Amino acid sequence: MEENSSLEHHYYYPLPASSAAAEADHPNNHNDGDKEETCAEEGRSQYKPNTSQNYVSYQSNRSRLNGYALCGAILASTNSILLGYDIGVMSGASLFIRQDLKITSVQVEILVGSLNVCSLIGSLASGKTSDWIGRRYTIMVAAATFLIGAILMGLAPSFPFLMAGRVVAGIGVGYSLMISPVYVAELSPALTRGFLTSLPEVFISVGILLGYVSNYAFAGLPNGINWRLMLGLAALPAIAVALGVLGMPESPRWLVVKGRFEEAKQVLIRTSENKGEAELRLAEIQEAAASAFFTNIDKATTSSRASPTTRMWHGQGVWKELLVTPTHTVLRILVAAIGVNFFMQASGNDAVIYYSPEVFKEAGIEGEKQLFGVTIIMGIAKTCFVLISALFLDKFGRRPMLLLGSCGMAISLFVLGLGCTLLKLSGDNKDEWVIALCVVAVCATVSFFSIGLGPITWVYSSEIFPLRLRAQGSSLAISMNRLMSGIVSMTFLSVSEAITFGGMFFVLGGVMVCATLFFYFFLPETKGKSLEEIEALFEDQAH
pLDDT in tens, 281-310: 888 888 877 766 654 334 433 444 444 445
Mean pLDDT of 100-112: 84
Pairwise CA distance, residues 283 & 174, whole Å: 33
The secondary structure of 72-133 as a DSSP string is HHHHHHGGGHHHHHHHHHHHHHHHHHHHHHT--HHHHHHHHHHHHHHHHHHHHHHHHHHHHH
Q: Hey, CA dihedral for 241, 243, 246, 248, is it positive or negative? A: negative
Q: Tally the domains of the chain.
A: 2
Are 233 and 331 members of one domain? no
Q: Answer whether residue 450 is part of any domain.
A: yes
Better pLDDT: 367 or 361: 361
Contact of 42 with 4, CB cutoff 8 Å? yes
Q: Lowest-pLDDT range, 71-80, 180-189, 191-200, 236-245?
A: 236-245
Closest C-alpha to 197, from 463, 527, 386:
463
Query: Taking the mean position of all CA atoms in its chain, how far away is CA 163?
Result: 26
Query: Which of the listed residues 248, 278, 313 is the one where a domain comes to its end?
Result: 248
Q: Answer whether residue 2 is part of any domain.
A: no
Instruction: Please report the beta strands in 71-171, taking only residues with DSSP state E, as ranges in sequence order.
Output: none
Task: Supply the pLDDT for residue 520.
Answer: 94
Annotate 484-511 with b (16+ C-beta within 10 A) or e (fewer): bbbbbbbebbebbeeebbbbbbbbbbeb
Task: Supply the pLDDT for residue 343.
Answer: 96
Pairwise CA distance, residues 505 & 508, whole Å: 5
Mean pLDDT of 496-505: 89
Pairwise CA distance, residues 314 & 128, whole Å: 7
Are 236 and 361 members of one domain? no
Query: Which of the listed residues 195, 225, 248 is the one where a domain comes to its end?
Result: 248
Query: Which of the listed residues 232, 248, 264 is the one where a domain comes to its end?
Result: 248
Pairwise CA distance, residues 308 & 258, whole Å: 8
- How large is the angle between the packed helices 135-154 and 235-244, nearest 10 degrees? 160
Share of the chain above pLDDT 90, in %: 19
Q: Answer whether residue 277 is part of any domain.
A: no
Pairwise CA distance, residues 276 & 283, whole Å: 11
Q: Answer whether residue 23 is part of any domain.
A: no
Cα 205-189-394 angle, rounded to 5 deg: 55
Q: How many Cβ atoms are within 10 Å of 383's Cβ, its own excluded?
A: 23
Are 400 and 497 members of one domain? yes
Are 354 and 499 members of one domain? yes
Better pLDDT: 222 or 373: 222
Pairwise CA distance, residues 442 & 22, whole Å: 52
Query: Is residue 21 predicted with pLDDT exceeding 80?
Result: no
Closest C-alpha to 359, from 376, 344, 375:
375
Query: Is residue 12 predicted with pLDDT exceeding 90?
Result: no
Q: Answer whether residue 306 is part of any domain.
A: no
Closest C-alpha to 459, from 180, 128, 207:
180
Q: What is the per-residue pLDDT across 401-459, written as a single tens digit (0 to 9) for each? A: 999 999 999 999 999 999 888 888 876 677 788 888 888 898 899 899 999 998 999 89
Mean pLDDT of 318-343: 90
Query: Is residue 87 predicted with pLDDT exceeding 80?
Result: no
Q: Answer whether residue 259 is part of any domain.
A: no
Are 349 and 440 members of one domain? yes
Mean pLDDT of the chain: 79
In which domain, by residue range, is 106 found? 65-248
CATH at residue 367: 1.20.1250.20
Mean pLDDT of 479-491: 86
Task: Supply the pLDDT for residue 312.
Answer: 56
Contact of 393 with 215, CB cutoff 8 Å? no
By the 10 Å C-beta count (0-12 exposed, 13-18 middle, 19+ buried), 385 is classed as buried
Query: Is residue 35 predicted with pLDDT exceeding 60?
Result: no
Pairwise CA distance, residues 233 & 211, whole Å: 10
Backbone φ and ψ for 428, nearest 5 degrees, come out as: -80, -20
